[in-house]
Chains A and B, each alone.
Chain A
């Protein structure tokens, strides 16, 4: 549903602060723990949730997210269960936008039309599909947009001025600027360069621009949030899950709490971002 996303960004704009967009891997390490993490995110200060859908071959992800996906799959997670999780979450939260982030093959095998219908019904607001560039819009982007699901596109440092309009054409919800050439979880580049890139993108679109890849701390979130409309944190959250597990890779009493505490810190970061910018 596109309205939920638009309302959220409008409200944040009125509030005068950037969005905290939090990624976690659905089903990591198990369904119930993962659902508890999802439910804890808005309360801890997350504005938008990226629900990771695991894939056996996550080519754009670093080791942390690869391993999280392997843990989820090993415990029997699937795209169907990812949708179930969103549906369960919606029972108690009807305002936080949910974006499914993953790779195309599980959706293709699920069946594109069936997936879009089920995603809508489950309360999904947007999709980020890493391996569907603008050239492949007929596959999923256009059918999803037709049914009122956002298709959020990644733009990267290699997306030059000439290419940017093509990338933005069918994008909706927000634009996800990837801060670097690389995989998730790499080191964050110079925030001033990122600010310049965000400014360039904003000249070509009225959509909010959120920045991700490499954002690991509240301080990063504060710096990036000074110029961006949103800050995406993924690997650092996934790492909180990983370090809380026992030797067999099972959730412990700390798992949900450590994610919530970490996200609370990030939320402080984004909430102070514009104070810095105003100085």
Chain B
């Protein structure tokens, strides 16, 4: 079983062939947007950060941005900064270079002399990158080159009953084929961590599963908060989920039954293949961004209530087992798994179909969120504390 992807000079394989116009600070967002809007296959994103941040937050900014630039779906990156910001473009360049040897360019608005000059020069640079990218051809690769991120958002009871187990079946199939399945959302494993820990591939991984849960709970306690004041959401509750424990027990089905090989730090790349868990909050836009920064080339997004979000770099495939949601939010939802609840098909059968669809998406078929061009405003990153 193979998919058709774009080989990159760093040995990774893309499912898309984007040029990333990357704002290294919020002050460059609009300039990047204008450049990206004027070139095919060029994408950009809203970066709220890059300045006015303490070291711990700057590191988060740099990890996420460099991870996005290094994602295999990106052919090359044009960074645009302002000049005076904390996140200096030379530092960003060095961090991206430590992750990938793909084409990388940079401009500073203060150095170029304003927006118009930067756009002018940026368009010329990006135009060349687009032309170089367009000469790349898709080639067949084993699924061992694929890292699929599995997200659940707007969950209801059907998520834990059907949609997440189907995604879990896909995860198991992909792992058996040598690929990598990554799920995240640490706050949504609270109450189910013991089940994941028992599946840990080593005592170290088992210990880390408990550690990331404790770390997130303590972080919230440090500001006198409890995860339960934000979880489950009103929509989760309307959909029948009463407690975070109930939500979590449904959520972790996304990881199938494979051993947990690694706990990946927020927005970092995994070192292992197989099933891995990234430590992120459960906030969907943030968690998807982190997984894409961690190298996922395709995202599967299970939902009960329905959700429109996308990502500028990776295709986001929406799946649901709730028929009412599928009918009501058909233009946002790619696949319907409700035949399982209707007694027509088994979870494994539907999971087998999902793998086929993921391969089609990897080969270039667009998801509904992708057709809308969604994602530009939907890259969100964690903050350890307020801005300074």
Bind each other: no
